[in-house]
Amino acid sequence: MTDVNLVWLKRDLRLSDHQALWHACQQGKPVVVFHLFEPEYWQLPDTSYRQWRFILQSLGSLRQAFSKNGGHLSFYQGDIIATLRKIAQHCRISGLYSHEETGNHWTYQRDTRVSHWCQQHAIPWYQYQQFAVKRGPINRDNWDSFWHRVMDVAPCPMPALRSTRLGPGASEHANASYPGNDQLAAKTAQFGGIQTGERLLESFLAERHTNYLRDVSSPSRGQQYSSRLSPYLAYGCLSLRQVVLKTRQSLLKEETKRTLQAFKSRLHWHCHFIQKLETSPEYERTAIHPDLRGIRTDNFDGDRFKAWAEGQTGIPFVDACMRYLRHTGWLPFRLRAMLTAFSSYHLWLPWQHPAQYLASLFTDYEPGIHYPQIQMQSGTTGMNPFRIYNPIKQGQRLDPDGHFIRRWLPELAHLGNSFIHQPWLCAHVSPDCYPAPIVEVSSAARLARQKLAVHYRQHVSANHTQKVIKTHASRRREGSRRAPPTQHSNQLDLF
């Protein structure tokens, strides 16, 4: 039996700045690089066909890159342990190489099984950081400098791929069929792959960033002027380090300073959020503040959830955002926050179910960003202010002439500007054509505030809040002009 090193590609679908691949290829032994389609993963409620398709496209482009450079990429389907066993019947596995994944509960359990299997078989599993995210205990006070240290390391060069070979029983083509159940194919989702990601980065740094600050939250212009790099970072088609490096180079030009500085902060938040889930995996399932676990547990109103999920709440801006997201797989940050807040506050739905549903709609689903953001926007961290967006005012501000609403709610296309944000005021809109609002926005927000105030008075202990702040809150960064947090304001940081 020959000795081989295995490289398991997970959310790192690229060739350059790929530490696992680089290190495996330096060992002087044949290398099997594989991706595994795991049917069980694709049945989870937070996964979806649109993510699967993006990955498939990315693997297609990666496979081409391998063959162009004289290498092989292998594909397996099934359970990871069964796959490792199959490989081990034909070759001696010297080492398993991969990146450190901060995934959902399922991938965490899967990785735990892999770790046990490797230990049982005395196979070392080398895992490499691909983001500035630390395993194990962290010191929040110097996390910021840790991020800079990680980003300052020179990117790994692309290794010679000639040592790679096809794995035993593997397929050379990513031809697995989708094992999930959802039918929500995003009609105009982003196309996966290294080249598409690189082109987007180039166009963003060269031109598109100019309107970033102005248009990043715009429902109609955000898709052009936001970087749109999120799925390429989520599935590792681009290395975050390389994106940071190129952004730093572009920042040397005076005219790009303000916008690119704002963009660079987001690249920092990226890791900052993933660190939260890495350190506290309970973000996925349980309110981070122990005293806030009891809110919203009294009801899960299935009809309300359905109306929200299908873009049929009767609040045009909410519905237009949801239908746009279902169609495209993407939404600007502000509007993701608004949809979440609307379901958590106005509809008073427990956050877990909407969180999974939104995750499945996002092509760029990144558990480490997603769950902490959901909790932050749902008011369950106890350390962020309650942001109860008024969706009518948001619509009037971000879509003043109603173009976006008319585009995504064609049944309202005939309405003029005076009614487009509040069609219930117009006598000519029949509920057969567009539903009456399922809640009255102002009173639903007032009720949510009252419920929260009562809950806080009766159940939230200041001691517990202090503990949560100590464990989970970000520290003020050097040079930040924001005021330091006070318990009274409940305002800590953007995070």
362 binds ligand FAD (CB under 6 A): yes
Contacts (Cβ under 8 Å, ≥6 apart) of 286: 293
DSSP string, 178-238: P--------TTPPPPSHHHHHHHHHHHHHTGGGGHHHHTT-TTTHHHHS---HHHHHTTSS
Is 263 marked as a binding-site residue?
yes
Considering only residues 48, 61, 343, 373, which one is a binding residue for ligand FAD as defined by CB under 6 A? 373
Considering only residues 131, 273, 283, 419, which one is a binding residue for ligand FAD as defined by CB under 6 A? 273
- Whole-Å CA distances, 343 to 302, 306, 322, 388, 391: 12, 11, 12, 10, 11
Distance CA 63, CA 264 (A): 31
Considering only residues 23, 105, 134, 266, which one is a binding residue for ligand FAD as defined by CB under 6 A? 266
Is 58 marked as a binding-site residue?
no
365 binds ligand FAD (CB under 6 A): yes
Considering only residues 48, 190, 256, 340, which one is a binding residue for ligand FAD as defined by CB under 6 A? 340
244 binds ligand FAD (CB under 6 A): no
269 binds ligand FAD (CB under 6 A): yes
Is 228 marked as a binding-site residue?
yes
From residue 315 to residue 334, the character string flagging contacts with ligand FAD as x (rule: CB under 6 A) and all else as - is -----------------xx-
Distance CA 269, CA 221 (A): 22
Contacts (Cβ under 8 Å, ≥6 apart) of 461: 291
- Whole-Å CA distances, 341 to 313, 390, 453, 487: 14, 9, 17, 22
Distance CA 10, CA 161 (A): 18
- Candidate ranges 72-80, 268-276, 386-394, 425-433; the one touching ligand FAD (CB under 6 A): 268-276
267 binds ligand FAD (CB under 6 A): yes
Number of Cβ within a 10 Å radius of residue 156:
19
360 binds ligand FAD (CB under 6 A): no
Contacts (Cβ under 8 Å, ≥6 apart) of 481: none
Q: What are the backbone dihedrals phi and psi of residue 120, each rounded to the nearest 5 degrees, phi first?
A: -55, -35
Residue among 61 and 217 whose Cβ is closer to ligand FAD: 217
On whether the CB atoms of residues 411 and 433 are closer than 8 A, the answer is: yes
Considering only residues 228, 241, 304, 472, which one is a binding residue for ligand FAD as defined by CB under 6 A? 228
Is 226 marked as a binding-site residue?
yes
Considering only residues 19, 47, 98, 230, which one is a binding residue for ligand FAD as defined by CB under 6 A? 230
Is 250 marked as a binding-site residue?
no
Residue among 219 and 332 whose Cβ is closer to ligand FAD: 332
Contacts 24+ apart (CB under 8 A), 134-139: 134/275, 134/278, 135/100, 135/278, 138/275, 138/279
Is 229 marked as a binding-site residue?
yes
Distance CA 327, CA 219 (A): 13
Distance of CA 398 to the CA centre of its chain: 23
234 binds ligand FAD (CB under 6 A): yes
Provide, rounded to whole angstroms, the least separation between the CB of residue 337 and ligand FAD.
4
Residue among 264 and 464 whose Cβ is closer to ligand FAD: 264
Residue among 22 and 362 whose Cβ is closer to ligand FAD: 362
- Candidate ranges 119-127, 291-299, 358-366, 406-414; the one touching ligand FAD (CB under 6 A): 358-366
Residue among 208 and 421 whose Cβ is closer to ligand FAD: 208
364 binds ligand FAD (CB under 6 A): yes
Residue among 97 and 362 whose Cβ is closer to ligand FAD: 362
- Total number of residues shown for the chain: 495
226 binds ligand FAD (CB under 6 A): yes
Binding interface with ligand FAD (CB under 6 A): 216, 226-230, 233-234, 263, 266-267, 269-270, 273, 332-333, 336-337, 340, 362, 364-366, 369-370, 373-374, 377
Annotated binding site for FAD: 212, 226-230, 263
